[in-house]
């Protein structure tokens, strides 16, 4: 690389030391360059608002430049950022198929502390969130070809940028000046001929006005990712249970249905069972067991065939994007410039999920004591005659039996896949607008100022199908008329068009009945996020002079207003469809902030080359009264004992205010099963919780009267709870420490090495306790943290309600070491050729979490989602018009799931070996200004396979993938080709 080009990149804050490095995001630090080669133009680096005449930064800054994006042939910028060792797993195309409104969303998750603790900026300003009520930005809205570079700061940056910056900041710097037209087209496909990706983009810009005082640059891009079906890969073609894949692991919710016998009290018949012999099975049928149908709809005893859900699931969701952006700048005077940024994105995605698994409890409620049905009536004309005859014989015996526990069979319970009715797939459409406009300039020579306004709006609309519970009950309650026709029993239901539904067998539900039981108003969710930010900032790099240099300062004020609406359809609101009741969410807040930052040089060219101090502080006043005023600050030191070696360190106290989803979402009802440890306790039992149970007066009274405290099935099924937000949440706090060194030896030009230690501790993290844990720990500790969630009946002592609101209850702490190495030098083997080497490596010392004050501290380091070692290295060879690059990404092995360490059956699968992924690209540029570029590439050159991690027992596996598809490559070897033209 020439010296002039190197200087240009430095002045553009690519921060890559003495070369442009070929690996994505491999510029680990902003201070890799020798001071003698740094540009004297003052620049602003992410992590500070003070412009400095050199490229030193007190915090590590990783950078992805435009060249790196090209060498990765990036279509979606998330794919590039995901290779950074500092970046954990966010939402992506490979782990959101089972989400509703969020399928296909792409977020960035620094240090694995969560996307809500990572602040995303565009040109140093906030971007509207891509998920309801959160601060998480959807990276699908960022046009890759319009990016000049990406700067990533890790560690607590709340003092400089505000809330959400606990884990760090990702700042997308977009192109703002371009003359001419540039177009790019690219196509990629896997070795197996699937998961195709298309992309086309055009960028055009020009200068205008007297003396070219104005400039405009516009961009439009279109890309489409066709996604990947689970059945297209052998690892995920079938449902798996541990190491068993195939029919033995299929879902018991089969398309032909499975049925059980019930008495009027919704109790399975287990005593005095009827016996009948279906012709095909020739085996006894026992009440309380299941009967089903074979593929030819012959009645059989037992469960029958299951259902392979992976046959219709997806590994990755398809995505289609239209993105447009424009940048406008105009110099109003020599000292005042107007600017405007406009971006629009249209993102379409869809999930594909198997048809609904419906069972009796989803349709019917109650215990049968009030006369209401709790299952399908035994006189339903669709019930097979063999079953009706056996039940009639059994009931005749039950009536003659003197045993009061022998109850007649009146109804049938069922579980059945709703293949004819609807699946749970959905289609999603997101429209995102963002406008940033303002004025900036200089005053009194040394003062730089900027006043800006940002408005962002997301509309996210998801459309899917569902059933109407009331209509489904009507359709199941059928009778046969004298003329032999079958109709719905209810005259009112008949009047609204009720069509009886036959669920006894495969394909038996008619199209008319299937249409009737569907919700008249489609299942839908509309999300509106709005953001407004007013900012005013002043900075001066030469406030006054000290013997060691000029003191720099930055001060400013911001006002931010956020609003989010999550509007669901009426049946979802009322619990009238296949799910529990979920209310709408509406929330808003605003915050006033003031901040200040200072850079003080202490010593220069004395017994040390340089010693300086930095500091920043921010005060934020939130409209949420439980948060109110919060204060963040940081302090740093830089020491350069001699040229070529620099030490740096920063300590920060950061914060994150609860987002709208956390403090404003209305609790939604759940009847998910919980277990009361007091169930079955007697006067003599000595279990962990038994003494605490007997201390409850109602429990003690029940034991005295009945010998034991026992729930009925109806009691257990009646326990509800409300899970959701909490208006009393306060802010999370974090303490972060970063200490490191930058080595740029004068003897080895083009070499830079950075080593940084990080320690981030998050306190009062927002999380839930867990409903079962609340019951257990309330008994053992009596703490309100747990007992406040549990409501027992004042008369019986039975648990009636267990809530699980979000609270400030958890702690997290992560520690590790980052290393960045890069080296560039001319080879002289074939004239003017050059080799660029670059690499980033992270060693995770620990990642500890504590779910609540009495929970054990768990260390997730050296597990699949928290690899102990993560590295990415690239070598690029450049010779005239030719560039060849080879990148290697490494993930260390480790434990798949620490919760399964003692599971003997899971042990053979619970240790995962390390993985190497190799990517190669060859690029040929024609013309002095690279007017024509052609490139070919192969990702995952050696077709490295992902580890087998079945969804059962490894709940970490995204459903339908049977591996950690968001960590490892589930696609296999991929090829792509592209062309870029500039004129």
The string of DSSP codes covering 713-776 is HHHHHT-BEEE---TT---EEEEEEEEEEEE--TTSTTEEEEEEEEEEEEEEEEE---HHHHHH
- State how far the alpha carbon of 659 is from the alpha carbons of 405, 479, 668, in Å: 54, 53, 18
Contact, 840 vs 28, CB < 8 A? yes
Residues 181, 164: Cα–Cα separation, whole Å = 38
Coil vs helix vs strand at 819: strand
Closest CA to 695 of 718, 677, 673, 714: 677
Report the pLDDT value the prediction gives residue 41, as an integer from 0 to 100.
60
Report the pLDDT value the prediction gives residue 401, as an integer from 0 to 100.
62
Convert the pLDDT of each residue in 736-785 to its tens digit: 999 999 999 988 888 999 999 999 999 999 998 888 889 999 999 998 88
For the ranges 6-10, 246-250, 574-578, the maximum mean pLDDT occurs at: 246-250
Q: What is the Cα 874 distance to its own chain's centre?
A: 28
Report the pLDDT value the prediction gives residue 50, as an integer from 0 to 100.
84
Q: What are the b/e assignments for 892-908, b being 16+ CB within 10 Å?
A: bbbbbbeebeeeeebee
Is the confidence at residue 36, as pLDDT, over 50? no
* Six token digits for residue 75: 């279509």
Residues 603, 13: Cα–Cα separation, whole Å = 25
Coil vs helix vs strand at 83: coil
- The residues, ordered by sequence, that sit 6+ positions from 299 with a Cβ below 8 Å of its Cβ are 278, 279, 280, 281, 291, 292, 293, 384, 386, 387
Report the pLDDT value the prediction gives residue 861, as an integer from 0 to 100.
97
Coil vs helix vs strand at 688: coil
Report the pLDDT value the prediction gives residue 42, as an integer from 0 to 100.
63
Percent of the chain whose pLDDT exceeds 70: 90
Convert the pLDDT of each residue in 903-933 to its tens digit: 999 999 999 999 999 999 999 999 877 899 9
Coil vs helix vs strand at 66: helix
Is the confidence at residue 649, as pLDDT, over 60? yes
Closest CA to 768 of 809, 735, 811, 719: 809
Average pLDDT taken over every residue of the chain: 88
* Six token digits for residue 354: 């198997």
Report the pLDDT value the prediction gives residue 816, as an integer from 0 to 100.
97
In degrees rounded to 5, what are phi and psi of residue 197?
A: -135, 130
Is the confidence at residue 413, as pLDDT, over 90? no
In degrees rounded to 5, what are phi and psi of residue 663?
A: -100, -15
DSSP letters along 335-368, please? SEEEEEEEEEEEEEEEE--PBPEEEHHHH--S-S
Contact, 393 vs 401, CB < 8 A? no
Sheet (strand 147-154) strand order: 61-65, 147-154, 168-174, 118-122, 125-126
- The residues, ordered by sequence, that sit 6+ positions from 637 with a Cβ below 8 Å of its Cβ are 58, 611, 612, 613, 614, 648, 649
Q: What is the mean pLDDT of residues 716-744?
A: 91
Is the confidence at residue 72, as pLDDT, over 70? yes
Is the confidence at residue 173, as pLDDT, over 60? yes
Is the confidence at residue 671, as pLDDT, over 50? yes
Q: What is the mean pLDDT of residues 968-980?
A: 97
* Residue 387 pLDDT level (bands cut at 50, 70, 90): confident
- The residues, ordered by sequence, that sit 6+ positions from 692 with a Cβ below 8 Å of its Cβ are 779, 780
* pTM of this structure: 0.89
Closest CA to 800 of 676, 621, 947: 676
- The residues, ordered by sequence, that sit 6+ positions from 431 with a Cβ below 8 Å of its Cβ are 344, 345, 346, 458, 459
Report the pLDDT value the prediction gives residue 286, as an integer from 0 to 100.
37
Is the confidence at residue 264, as pLDDT, over 90? no
* Residue 146 pLDDT level (bands cut at 50, 70, 90): very high
Residues 240, 141: Cα–Cα separation, whole Å = 36
For the ranges 64-73, 98-107, 385-394, 473-482, the maximum mean pLDDT occurs at: 473-482
- State how far the alpha carbon of 364 is from the alpha carbons of 153, 411, 412, in Å: 54, 12, 12
- The residues, ordered by sequence, that sit 6+ positions from 404 with a Cβ below 8 Å of its Cβ are none
578: left (phi over 0), alpha (psi -120 to 50) or beta: alpha
Q: What is the mean pLDDT of residues 435-443?
A: 96
Coil vs helix vs strand at 953: coil
Report the pLDDT value the prediction gives residue 280, as an integer from 0 to 100.
31
Q: DSSP letter at 247? A: G
Closest CA to 69 of 57, 60, 61, 78: 78
Closest CA to 129 of 89, 91, 158, 175: 91
* Six token digits for residue 263: 């008495």
- Is the N-terminal amide bond of 953 cis, ω within 30° of 0? yes
Contact, 201 vs 183, CB < 8 A? yes
Convert the pLDDT of each residue in 799-854 to its tens digit: 999 999 899 999 999 999 999 998 998 987 787 899 999 999 999 999 999 988 88
Lowest mean pLDDT among 41-55, 236-250, 322-336, 938-952: 41-55
Is the confidence at residue 64, as pLDDT, over 80? yes
Report the pLDDT value the prediction gives residue 798, as an integer from 0 to 100.
95
């Amino acid at each position: 690389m020439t010296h002039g080009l190197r200087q240009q990149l430095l002045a553009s804050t690519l921060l890559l030391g003495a070369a442009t490095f070929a690996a994505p995001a491999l510029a680990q630090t902003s201070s890799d360059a020798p001071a003698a080669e740094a540009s004297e133009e003052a620049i602003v680096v992410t992590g500070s608002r003070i412009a400095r005449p050199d490229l030193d930064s007190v915090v590590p800054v990783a950078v992805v430049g435009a060249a790196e994006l090209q060498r990765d042939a990036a279509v979606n910028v998330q794919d590039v950022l995901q290779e950074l060792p500092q970046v954990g797993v966010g939402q992506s195309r490979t782990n959101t198929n089972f989400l509703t409104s969020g399928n296909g969303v792409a977020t960035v998750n620094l240090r694995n502390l969560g996307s809500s603790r990572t602040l995303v900026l565009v040109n140093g300003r906030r971007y509207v969130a891509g998920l309801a009520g959160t601060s998480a930005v959807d990276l699908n809205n960022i046009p890759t070809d319009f990016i000049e570079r990406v700067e990533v700061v890790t560690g607590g940056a709340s003092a400089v940028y505000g809330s959400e910056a606990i884990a760090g900041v990702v700042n997308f710097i977009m192109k703002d000046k371009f003359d001419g037209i540039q177009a790019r087209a690219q196509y990629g496909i896997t070795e197996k001929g699937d998961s195709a990706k298309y992309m086309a983009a055009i960028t055009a810009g020009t200068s205008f006005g007297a003396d070219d005082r104005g400039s405009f640059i516009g961009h439009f891009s279109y890309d489409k990712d066709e996604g990947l079906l689970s059945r297209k890969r052998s690892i995920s073609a079938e449902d798996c249970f541990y190491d068993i894949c195939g029919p033995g692991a299929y879902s018991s919710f089969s398309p032909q249905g499975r049925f059980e016998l019930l008495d009027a009290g919704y109790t399975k018949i287990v005593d005095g069972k009827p016996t009948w012999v279906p012709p095909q099975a020739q085996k006894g049928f026992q009440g309380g067991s299941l009967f089903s149908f074979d593929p030819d709809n012959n009645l059989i005893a037992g469960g029958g065939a299951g259902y392979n859900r992976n046959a219709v699931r997806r590994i990755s969701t398809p995505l289609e994007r239209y993105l447009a952006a424009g940048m406008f700048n105009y110099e109003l005077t020599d000292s005042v410039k107007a600017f405007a940024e406009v971006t629009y994105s249209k993102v379409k995605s869809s999930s594909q999920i198997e048809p609904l698994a419906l069972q009796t409890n989803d349709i019917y409620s109650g215990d049968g004591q009030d006369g209401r049905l709790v299952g399908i009536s035994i006189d339903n004309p669709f019930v097979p005659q063999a079953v009706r005859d056996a039940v009639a014989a059994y009931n005749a015996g039950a009536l003659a039996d003197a045993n009061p526990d022998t109850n007649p069979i009146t109804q049938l319970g069922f579980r059945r896949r709703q293949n004819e009715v609807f699946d749970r797939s959905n289609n999603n459409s997101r429209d995102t607008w963002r406008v940033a406009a303002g004025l900036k300039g200089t005053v009194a020579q040394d003062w730089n100022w900027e006043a800006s306004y940002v408005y962002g709006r997301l509309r996210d609309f998801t459309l899917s199908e569902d059933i109407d519970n009331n209509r489904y009950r009507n359709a199941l309650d059928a009778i046969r008329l004298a003329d032999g026709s079958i109709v719905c029993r209810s005259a009112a239901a008949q009047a609204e068009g009720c069509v009886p539904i036959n669920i006894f067998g495969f394909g038996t539900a008619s199209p008319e009945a299937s249409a009737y039981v569907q919700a008249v108003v489609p299942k839908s969710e509309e999300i509106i996020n709005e953001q407004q930010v007013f900012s005013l900032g002043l900075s001066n790099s030469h406030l006054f002079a000290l013997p060691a240099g000029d003191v720099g300062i930055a001060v400013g004020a911001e006002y931010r207003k956020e609003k989010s609406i999550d509007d669901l359809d009426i049946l979802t609101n009322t619990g009238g469809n296949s799910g529990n009741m979920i209310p709408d969410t509406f929330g808003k807040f605003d915050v006033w902030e003031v901040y200040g930052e200072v850079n003080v040089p202490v010593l220069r060219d004395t017994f040390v080359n340089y010693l300086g101090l930095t500091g920043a502080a921010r005060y934020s006043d939130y409209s949420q009264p439980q948060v109110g005023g919060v204060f963040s600050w940081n302090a740093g030191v830089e020491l350069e004992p001699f040229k070529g070696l620099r030490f740096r360190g920063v300590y920060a106290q950061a914060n994150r205010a609860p987002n709208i989803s956390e403090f404003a979402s209305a609790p939604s009802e759940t009847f998910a099963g919980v277990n009361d440890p007091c169930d079955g306790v007697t006067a003599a039992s000595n279990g962990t919780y038994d003494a605490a149970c007997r201390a409850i007066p109602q429990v003690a009274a029940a034991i005295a009267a009945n010998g034991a405290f026992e729930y009925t099935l109806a009691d257990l099924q009646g326990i509800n709870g409300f899970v959701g937000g909490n208006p009393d949440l306060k802010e999370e706090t974090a303490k972060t420490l970063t200490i490191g060194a930058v080595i740029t030896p004068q003897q080895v030009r083009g070499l830079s090495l950075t080593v940084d230690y990080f320690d981030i501790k998050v306190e009062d993290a927002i999380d839930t306790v867990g409903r079962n844990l609340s019951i257990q720990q309330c008994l053992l500790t009596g703490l309100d943290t747990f007992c406040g969630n549990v409501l027992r009946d004042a008369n019986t002592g039975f648990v009636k309600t267990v809530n699980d609101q979000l609270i400030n209850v958890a702690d997290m702490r992560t520690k590790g070491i980052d290393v960045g190495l890069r080296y560039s030098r001319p080879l002289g083997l074939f004239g003017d050729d050059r080799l660029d080497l670059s690499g980033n490596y992270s060693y995770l010392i620990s990642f500890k979490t504590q779910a609540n004050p009495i929970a054990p501290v768990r260390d997730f380091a050296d597990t699949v989602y928290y690899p102990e070692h993560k590295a990415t290295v690239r070598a690029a060879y450049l010779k005239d018009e030719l560039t060849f690059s080879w990148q290697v990404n490494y993930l260390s092995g480790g434990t798949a799931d620490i919760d399964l360490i003692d599971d003997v059956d899971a042990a053979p699968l619970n240790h995962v070996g390390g993985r190497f992924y190799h990517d190669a690209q060859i690029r040929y540029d024609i013309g002095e200004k690279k007017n024509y570029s052609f490139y070919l590439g192969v990702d995952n050159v050696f077709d490295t396979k992902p580890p087998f991690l079945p969804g059962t027992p490894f709940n970490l596996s995204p459903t339908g993938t049977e591996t950690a598809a968001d960590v490892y490559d589930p696609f296999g070897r991929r090829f792509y080709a592209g062309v870029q033209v500039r004129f």
